[in-house]
Structure 1
Amino acid sequence: MLSDRLLDAASLARLQKILRRASPWEALGAFLVIALVGVVVDYIRMLRLRAKMPPGPLPWPIVGNTFMLPEHKPWLWFEQLSKKYQNPLITVWIGRNPTVWINDAWSASELLDKRAGIYSSRPRMVVFAELGAGQSNLVNMYTMSPEQRDRWRVHRKLMHYAVGSQSVRKYRTLQNDESRVVALDLLSKPDDYVKHFERYATSVVSIIGFGRRVESSDDPIITEVIAVMHLAADLNVPGKSFPMLMETFPWLARFPNAIAPWKHGLGRRRGMSFFYALAHEANEKPGHEDAFVKYLFQKRHETNLHDDEIASLSGNLFGAGSDTSSSTLITFVLACCAFPETLVPAWEELDRVVGPHRSPHFDDEPNLPYVKAFVKEVLRWRSVAIIGGQPHAPTQDDVYKGYLIPKGTWVQGNVWAIHHNEREFPDPDRFNPRRFLPGDPDSRPFPGERGYMTFGWGRRVCSGQVLAEQGTWITVARLLWGFRIEKKRRPDGSVVEVDINNYTNGLNMRPRPFECSITPRSEEIRRTIEREGKQALQDLEQYRGETKYRMSTFYQRNTRAMDLYGDGKA
């Protein structure tokens, strides 16, 4: 690209003639001069563009700010830069390409919500898209051209059938039953709360997607799928080490995997045919005609869906729903342990409205304002998608407060900074549900009716937002009603402290393992949990089923998948 700028065809021909006559050392010297001129010209381009864009640290030639990125939790660094430059938008260069980070709720709303028609596309993503989930995946799709926008709308419409705001109410019964099973499991094995949450979240989306529940926390499909989601989350955080360094040097992605250990096995599209196999298997089984995968196969010819698209649509529902919802519930437990004073008003409200002889249900929500505020604070305090999911990209040059945001630029919302801004959330690290109660002294104006930006923005907002909010509310309400969730006590009476900042480093972050105590609040409540949990298991019996597939062995068994997608080794 640089040679096209520097040399026309005639000049290039003259240069080739000179190089043929020159000695090897003279040719090398000429090449180095040309390369140096190319670097200088490109750096001048970067600096000129930088002068028009939001402020940020001075980029270096070729590598930009890549090697300034911190090893862990770069969103904290972006927040610090925003404060340093006293600007809600900052520009950080990943190689020769700028990324605009939005660190303020009002700016995020203005750009990504109100200007959604411009900011609904995705930029080029080497690691996550080209080498990972693929560009035909709804999450990664470009919408730069009319044809691309039309294809994206097809996928979005199909996903709305499964988890759109008009569809999710029909899932309340199964979410209610599955959360009752969680409460029952916590009675017998409270120390395995993480496994119970993962089983619950995976089972809900498995019923919606495939018509079968996940009965046991030992089911390999839970651990395998969540492990893949964690890997994907780790791969989508800006960094200065491989494989994310390929975003700085995209040409490194062209090397074959056999001689490119820095690719970490990417490029084989590990999970796609596995999810297609799950979908095809579920479609062939009788019953549960409202399962999402059966709808996809019904619409296959009408919408011209190919195998990869069926795999990605069903896989996105399965993978993302299981990881994010379970991580949110783990954060809920951490908040209960770290801020026990916030539980007392919840218990008082639940005892007054619900009582001990039944657990909360969805009809109680209007009468439980503090519990509703509690759930909102869980979603705000330590949001799972800490950098707002995948980056947006404007489909045309845009100007915001005098700053240029060029077409195709990575534009990312820093959810951490947005949710920890003292202006909207005083003392932001303190877990305080009352900040979501109207009229409370800690309540502040915030764009949008929800009061948080956990699920993204505009036309790229998380498709499963309403489903996740619905499931989180009923489960949190039930666990607050049923249990004392406290710091663990050792045999000598000392307390095992928890660290509210000890989170993973991925795009979807969750607390690292910690000990806690989970006990029923009363004997009456224990009996209610047992009764309702057993009834829920009976109600869920209709979704019993098994799959013959395991991700860990699928590619060894399926020769066709190996031929198409590689051996699946990381």
Structure 2
Amino acid sequence: MFAELLASIGFAVALSYFSLIFPRLRQEWKLYAHRSKLPPGPKVIKSGLRKPWLWFRELNKEYGDVVYLQMGPTPTVILGSAQAAWDLLEKRGAKYSSRPRFIMGGELLSGGMRGLMSPYGAFWRRWRKLLHSGFMQRQSETYRPIQSLESKVLLNDLLRTPERFRKHLERYAASVIVTVTYGRRVEDVDTDIVVQRNGESMDRLTQVNIPGKYAVERYPALKYVPSIFAPWKAQVLKQRQKDIQLYTELMDEVKERMAKGALPTCFAKHLLEEQESLGMPDLEVAYAAGSPFGAGVETSAGTLASFLLACVKFGPQFVPKAQKELDRVIGSGRLPTFDDMPQLPYVKAVAAETLRWRPVAVLGGTPHASTADDVYKGMFIPKGSTIIAPLWSIHLNESDFPDPDRFQPERFTGNREYPGTFGHSAFGWGRRICPGMHLGTASVELNIARILWAFEVGPVKDANGKDIDVDIFAFSDGFNSSPLPFPCSIKPRSPEHAKVIEQEFQDALVSLKTYTAIANKVS
């Protein structure tokens, strides 16, 4: 009897082993059989890179728009042109809309609760439906009053303490996202505990989501190493508990205010109204509410920081043209509004070039995954491949953007061929395109218009009166990348412009009382 039991256990172990190893062997045989048709790529794979997008661009320059890497057991394809990304991720979206397995960010850190990293399926479709309904273009336009009011606060902050411009940009971005999501604004990013805790969460997420950084992504069995022997695992599990507490407490506060009839229209309210019909558990709703909160702050603030960097480095080449247009359309007695944007084509071109020139999502956002074998221009792309479309390669591709490191809004003032409707690829492609693209575009365009209307932005002078140069390649590491600290001079264009800013700020404070009066109960 005992011998039969051992035999049955042995058979089960063997069966389990072969169930794991057989798909791997089949995949390796498929790759071997199609090896001559795989896209070109290097034989030596670099790992642990702090800024992998720099290496990816080198690969695209050397091997072309489609590059093949064998990173552990997973085939990886790097796309280096807008056309290649459009052809695969947009036109063939049915094959390229899933996600690779994210062990660090998706499983250990998030427990499978982040829709951004979820594979194509019921969970993702539910998440996507909610995000689209909350941030589609028509719905996003209802958030414009909040964006406008917070923008007026931003202008006043830049007028009073221009040297703190990075903090002011962060506060603006954080307050818009938190107000739109939870109906409560942010007055100071240094003291707001919710912003602090969310910043910690996003820092951890972006650091663990860098392709090739952690061996566990290539060798999934390492996931089961006990935390005591794996500090990298212990750290993300600790952060996961903090994230659950944060998102749960925020939704509890929303429910309490909703019950009292004191909750303004916001995304979290929309989620609670849809929860029962969709059959979503509380934790899934809490994580869904945190999606824009997590993704929108760094991207909006980083993009506006890149705009100021461009003003410092290339200002004389485009700022006077933009200000001439603003003076003609707006004058000096009022601020630009959303209604003015159709009459400000050059300002809109400045915003588009900002998104193109230094994309915050340097890796093209979260990688895609193929769900079926495919052939593109004679190259075989295996099922299960990780597809990375790094914007650092795509937006700096000389064939689409000659002299790509130069800031030239004129790229967007005429008709030119480029796949898609934006003229750039900042928001991704296909079914995985950024749900917050309308909200994000509106923030970038309005604030660029108002900053150019209100201020003279340029280089800081040294003790000898000479311009202090800035490094346009000094950007942070991580899943997203934004400018490292740089000197920037921000001065009002005239006393009249300053007076308008001050008056609009006072009026904005009155309108923002509804969101300011909410007590912060999240500790």
In the superposition, the TM-score normalised over structure 2's length comes to 0.90
How far off its partner does 1:172 sit? 1.0
**Equivalent residue, structure 2, for 1:317:** 292
Give SS of 2:95's match: coil
**Equivalent residue, structure 2, for 1:223:** 196
Return the alpha-carbon distance in structure 2 between the equivalents of residues 212 and 337 of structure 1: 34
How far off its partner does 1:263 sit? 2.5
Give SS of 1:139's match: helix
Closer, same or farther in 2 for the Cα pair 1:491/1:538, shift >3 Å?
farther
Note if contact 1:164-1:463 (Cα within 8 Å) is conserved in structure 2. yes
How far off its partner does 1:289 sit? 4.5
**Equivalent residue, structure 2, for 1:109:** 86
In the superposition, the TM-score normalised over structure 1's length comes to 0.83
Closer, same or farther in 2 for the Cα pair 1:376/1:428, shift >3 Å?
same
How far off its partner does 1:462 sit? 0.8
Return the alpha-carbon distance in structure 1 between the equivalents of residues 455 and 201 of structure 2: 32
Note if contact 1:70-1:77 (Cα within 8 Å) is conserved in structure 2. no
Note if contact 1:198-1:222 (Cα within 8 Å) is conserved in structure 2. no
Residue 306 of structure 2 aligns to which amino acid in structure 1? T
**Equivalent residue, structure 2, for 1:26:** none
Return the alpha-carbon distance in structure 1 between the equivalents of residues 200 and 155 of structure 2: 25
**Equivalent residue, structure 1, for 2:18:** none
How far off its partner does 1:288 sit? 2.9
Residue 81 of structure 1 aligns to which amino acid in structure 2? L
2:180 pairs, out of 208, 211, 219, with 208
Return the alpha-carbon distance in structure 2 between the equivalents of residues 539 and 345 of structure 1: 33
CA RMSD across the alignment: 2.3
Note if contact 1:370-1:437 (Cα within 8 Å) is conserved in structure 2. yes
Decide which moves more: 304-313 or 48-57: 48-57
How far off its partner does 1:316 sit? 1.1
Closer, same or farther in 2 for the Cα pair 1:280/1:246, shift >3 Å?
same
**Equivalent residue, structure 2, for 1:249:** 219
Q: In the TM superposition, what whole-angstrom CA distance separates every residue of 1:192-248 from its partner, at most 9, and x where no partner exists?
A: 1111111111111111111111122332322332232233222211235xxx22212
In structure 1, stretches of 5+ residues that fail to align are 1-8, 17-38, 60-64, 551-570
Residue 71 of structure 1 pairs with residue 71 of structure 2: no
Note if contact 1:483-1:518 (Cα within 8 Å) is conserved in structure 2. yes
Give SS of 1:299's match: helix
**Equivalent residue, structure 1, for 2:311:** 336
Residue 51 of structure 1 pairs with residue 36 of structure 2: yes
**Equivalent residue, structure 1, for 2:4:** none
Q: In the TM superposition, what whole-angstrom CA distance separates every residue of 1:126-151 from its partner, at most 9, and x where no partner exists?
A: 111111223232111112xxxx2x33
Percent identity of the aligned residues?
Answer: 41
Return the alpha-carbon distance in structure 1 between the equivalents of residues 227 and 36 of structure 2: 39
Note if contact 2:115-2:123 (Cα within 8 Å) is conserved in structure 1. no
Note if contact 1:160-1:167 (Cα within 8 Å) is conserved in structure 2. no
Decide which moves more: 301-310 or 104-113: 301-310
1:292 pairs, out of 234, 247, 267, with 267
1:528-567 alignment runs, 5 A limit: 528-544=500-516, 545-550=518-523
Note if contact 1:94-1:247 (Cα within 8 Å) is conserved in structure 2. no
Return the alpha-carbon distance in structure 1 between the equivalents of residues 129 and 296 of structure 2: 18
Give SS of 1:490's match: coil
Closer, same or farther in 2 for the Cα pair 1:138/1:94, shift >3 Å?
same
**Equivalent residue, structure 1, for 2:21:** none
Note if contact 2:97-2:368 (Cα within 8 Å) is conserved in structure 1. yes
Residue 88 of structure 1 pairs with residue 59 of structure 2: no
2:208 pairs, out of 231, 235, 242, with 235
How far off its partner does 1:41 sit? 10
Please identify the structure whose Cα radius of gyration is greater: 1
**Equivalent residue, structure 1, for 2:438:** 466
Residue 480 of structure 1 pairs with residue 452 of structure 2: yes
Return the alpha-carbon distance in structure 2 between the equivalents of residues 379 and 308 of structure 1: 34
Return the alpha-carbon distance in structure 1 between the equivalents of residues 198 and 187 of structure 2: 15
Return the alpha-carbon distance in structure 2 between the equivalents of residues 105 and 161 of structure 1: 28
1:431 pairs, out of 404, 407, 432, with 407
**Equivalent residue, structure 2, for 1:389:** 365
Return the alpha-carbon distance in structure 1 between the equivalents of residues 263 and 456 of structure 2: 37
How far off its partner does 1:264 sit? 5.4
* Larger relative contact order (CA 8 Å, sep ≥ 6): 2
